[in-house]
Chain A
C-alpha cells in the first residue's frame, strides 16, 4: 500500500477545491462533496431550463381561449414534461443536492459526507434517471401529467410512460442515498462541541428533509413499479376492468407525493432561517421552536395525503380525518413565519440580495400557506380542487417558497462556493423582478380557479382570457428574473471581486474557512464553544 501524502500543515492561499486537480476526469470521478454539489447545480439548471421552456410554450398557448398554437396532445405532453422535470429533476434535488451537499459537511465542521462514493453514485443515478426521462421526451413525450393517474397511465395512454417512470425510479434511488448520507453525517460527524441545539437551522431542515427522502421515496418506487407491471403485463392492480382499483393508485402516489411537497419546502425554510439572522445581526427568535417545527412538518406530512382525494370517491369520513390532519400541519409552518418576523425586531437589518429574496419568500410563502388552508377545508376544496386555484397555491409554495429561497441561498453562499462576489445592485434588482413577475403570473390564477377554470385545459371559455393574459405577461417578467442572475453569476466567475472568507459577517463554521474552501474544508478540525447565530449584542444606536 502506498503511503498517503499528507497535505502540508499550511496550504498556500491559491489551492482550493476548485483549483486542485481540475481535469474532466477528476471532476467526473470526484468524491468531494463540494464538487458533487456543483455537478448537481449544472445538471439541475439544464432540467430547469427545459421545464421553463415547456412552461413558456404553455403560457403562450393560453394567451387566447382557442387552442390555436399547439395541438391538445402536444399541450398535454408539455405540462407533463414541465411537471416531471420541475418536481423530480429540479425542485427535489435543488437545495438538498446542491446547497445541502456543499454545506452540510462545512456547517458541521466535517471533511466530507459520511459516504463520499455513495454521494457520487447519487449524482450518477440522477443523471441516468434524467437521461431516461429526456429520452422519453425526445422520442415523443408522455401525456399522463406528472401524477400518472391510473388507469389512464396503465392502459389508455399511448406515450412513453414506462421509460419516463423508469427515469424517475432511478433518480429516486439517488434521493434515497443522499438522504441516508445526510442523516448519518449529521449524526456522526459533527465537530467537537457542536451539540444538536447548536446546529445551524439549515442542518435541522436538511435532517428533516432527509427523513422524508428515505421514508417516502421507496413508496414512489413501488407505485411506479406496480404501474409498470400493470402496463406491461396486464396484471390487474389499478384498472377495474382487470379487477384493480384506480383509487388505490392515488393513495400510493400521494403517500409519497405529499411528503415530497415538504421535501420541496423544508430546505427553503432552512435557508431563510440562516439568512434572516445574518442580515438582522441577531440570533433567531425561538430556535427550538423553529427546529422542532421542521421535524413536526416532516412527521405530520406523512398523514395528510388524502387531502388530494376529497372528491376521488374515497369515503367522506376518511376525508374528514385527512382534513383535520391537514389543518394541523399548517400550524408548524405558521410558527416559523411568526418567529422569522420576530427575529427582525430590534435587529440591524440590511437589504442585501439574499435578504431581499428571503423577505420575498416570507410574503409568497405566507400566501401559499394560507391558500393551502383553503384546500384543506373540505367544502372549499370540493369547488377548488383541480382548478387553477390549486396551480396558484402550489406555485406559491414551490416557486415562491423553494425557488426564491434557492436563489437566496445561491447568492448567500455564492462567495463561498466560487470565491467571487456577484454585482450587488443587479442581485437586488433580480430579487425584486422575481417577486413582481411571480405575483403577476400566479395571483390571477387564484381568481381563475375560484371562477372554476379547470387545470390541464389547453382551450378555455373566452371570459377567462383577461386573467390568462395577465399571467402570461407576468411569466415574461419572471423569465427575466431567472435569466438575469444566470448572466451576472456566470460573469462573476471571472470578473467578480475576490470574496473574503466571511463577506457577510455571518456566524457558522462554513464562514471560518477560506472562500472557496480547501479540498478538505478545514485545515484543523474546528471546536465549537457557542450556540448558533451568536452575534455580538446590538446597542442603542
Chain B
C-alpha cells in the first residue's frame, strides 16, 4: 500500500489553494531556519563552560525590533491579500453553473439534480463544468467537504449556503461531513463521482425517475393545495408565480427583495414575515409539513415558471 502524502487534486481551485499552501510551507521553513539556526548556534557557542566572548554589546535595540516587526508584517499582508482573493473567488459561483441541491440530515446526504435524479451519499458530476451546490440542513449544522476539490462549506439549518467547484479529473473522491453533527458523524460520508460528460448523460438517463425536479415540485404544488390560491381563478388574492423568480418584489414594508431561493424558502416556512405589497398575510406556515428536499422541489417549480407568460398581460 502506498503512503499518501498529498491529497488528490481534482478541481480548478485545488492548484490555486495548493500554491498558497506551498507558499505558507516555504515561509514556515524560512522562518524556522531564521529562528532555529541562530538559536542552535548560540546554544552551542555560548554553552556554559565553553570559552567565548561574552562581553555585552551595545546593540541598536530599537532598530532591530522594528526590523523584525516590519518584515514579517509585510510578508503576511502579501499572503493575506493573495489568499483573500482566492477565497472570494471560491465564494462566488460562476454564471451558468450546473445547479445541484444538497440536503444534509443526521446522518446522510441527499442530493437532488435538476433533472429529477436523486441520490444518497453519492454525487455524480461531469468533468470540466462548473457545479454550484445549494446546501440545506434538515436538523443540525453539517459541513460538505470534498478534500480533492479543496472546498468546504457548513450546511446550516434555517438558511441556504452554497459552494461551487469545477472538476478537472474523472475519478471517485471522498465526501466528508466535517462539522460534528452527533452520534454517527463519522458515518456521514460518501463519494463524489466525476464522469466524462457522455458517461454523465448516460448516468442521468439510466437513473432518471421520469420527472424533473420542477415537475416533482408541480405535483407537490397541487398535493399541498398551493394551487388552490396561487393558480387559476381563486377567490383568494395570492401572488402568481409566472415570471416571478429572480425579479424584485416590493414588500408591504416598502422594502424590496429579490425573489430568490432564500426568499421563497422563507415565504413557504414563515409566510407572514415578508408579505409582498398588496397582499394580506393569509397564508399558513408550511413549517413541519414540507422537508428541505420538498422545498427544493417547490422552488424548482417556481423557478421553471420564471420565463412563463404572466397571466392577464398581453402575450
Q: How far is the CA of A503 from the CA of B147 in the complex (A)?
A: 54
Report if A351-B57 is in contact (Cβ < 8 Å); known contacts: A370-B28, A451-B6: no
| CB-nearest residue of chain B to A378 | B87
A145–B150 CB distance below 8 A: no
A460–B186 CB distance below 8 A: yes
Q: Which of B166-222 contact A (CB under 8 A)?
A: 174, 176-187
B20: A residues at CB distance < 8 A: 377, 379-380
Q: Which residues of A contact B (CB under 8 A)?
A: 67, 72-73, 76, 143, 145, 147, 149, 151-152, 155-157, 239-241, 244-247, 280-282, 285-286, 289, 310-313, 316, 319-320, 323-324, 327-328, 330-331, 334-335, 337-339, 341-342, 344-351, 359, 362-363, 366-367, 370-371, 373-374, 376-380, 382-383, 385-387, 447, 450-452, 454-461, 463-464, 466, 537-541
Would you list 21 pairs from A and B whose C-beta atoms are within 8 A, ordered by A residue? A72-B186, A72-B187, A156-B139, A157-B182, A247-B156, A316-B88, A338-B35, A347-B54, A348-B46, A349-B43, A366-B32, A367-B32, A370-B31, A378-B84, A383-B152, A386-B145, A387-B178, A450-B21, A456-B185, A460-B186, A538-B54
Q: Which 4 interchain pairs have the tightest Cβ spacing?
A: A240-B158, A452-B147, A378-B87, A538-B54
Report if A539-B24 is in contact (Cβ < 8 Å); known contacts: A334-B72, A350-B48: no
| CB-nearest residue of chain A to B80 | A327
B178–A363 CB distance below 8 A: no
- Shortest A329–chain B CB gap in Å is 10
Cross-chain contact of A541 among B51, B77, B139, B181 (Cβ < 8 A): B51
A379–B68 CB distance below 8 A: no
B73: A residues at CB distance < 8 A: 328, 331
B17–A379 CB distance below 8 A: yes
Report if A76-B36 is in contact (Cβ < 8 Å); known contacts: A320-B84, A327-B77, A377-B79: no
Q: Does B108 lie at the interface of the complex (its beta carbon under 8 Å from any beta carbon of A)?
A: no
Q: How far is the CA of A385 from the CA of B1 in the complex (A)?
A: 28
Number of B interface residues at 8 Å Cβ cutoff, please give it: 81
Q: How far is the CA of A320 from the CA of B145 in the complex (A)?
A: 21
Q: Does B64 lie at the interface of the complex (its beta carbon under 8 Å from any beta carbon of A)?
A: yes
Q: Does B151 lie at the interface of the complex (its beta carbon under 8 Å from any beta carbon of A)?
A: yes
A382: B residues at CB distance < 8 A: 17, 87, 90, 150-152
Bitwise, B275-312 to A at CB < 8 A (1) or not (0) is 00000000000010000000000000000000000000
Give the interface centre of A73, A457, A463 by most chain B CB atoms within 10 Å: A457
A385–B16 CB distance below 8 A: no
- Shortest A479–chain B CB gap in Å is 25
B83: A residues at CB distance < 8 A: 323, 377-380
B42–A347 CB distance below 8 A: yes
Cross-chain contact of B156 among A246, A373, A460 (Cβ < 8 A): A246
Q: How far is the CA of A57 from the CA of B38 in the complex (A)?
A: 40
Q: How far is the CA of A282 from the CA of B46 in the complex (A)?
A: 12
Q: Which residues of B contact A (CB under 8 A)?
A: 1, 3-7, 16-17, 20-21, 24, 27-28, 31-32, 35-36, 38-39, 42-43, 46-48, 51-57, 61, 64-65, 68-69, 72-73, 76-77, 79-80, 83-84, 86-88, 90-91, 106, 139-141, 143, 145, 147-148, 150-154, 156-159, 161, 174, 176-187, 287
A380–B42 CB distance below 8 A: no
Cross-chain contact of B141 among A152, A337, A351, A538 (Cβ < 8 A): A152
B76–A331 CB distance below 8 A: yes
A385: B residues at CB distance < 8 A: 152, 178
| CB-nearest residue of chain B to A460 | B186
A366–B35 CB distance below 8 A: yes
A320: B residues at CB distance < 8 A: 84, 87-88
Q: How far is the CA of A73 from the CA of B141 in the complex (A)?
A: 18
B88: A residues at CB distance < 8 A: 316, 320
B159–A348 CB distance below 8 A: no
B46–A347 CB distance below 8 A: yes
B47–A456 CB distance below 8 A: no
Q: How far is the CA of A376 from the CA of B106 in the complex (A)?
A: 30
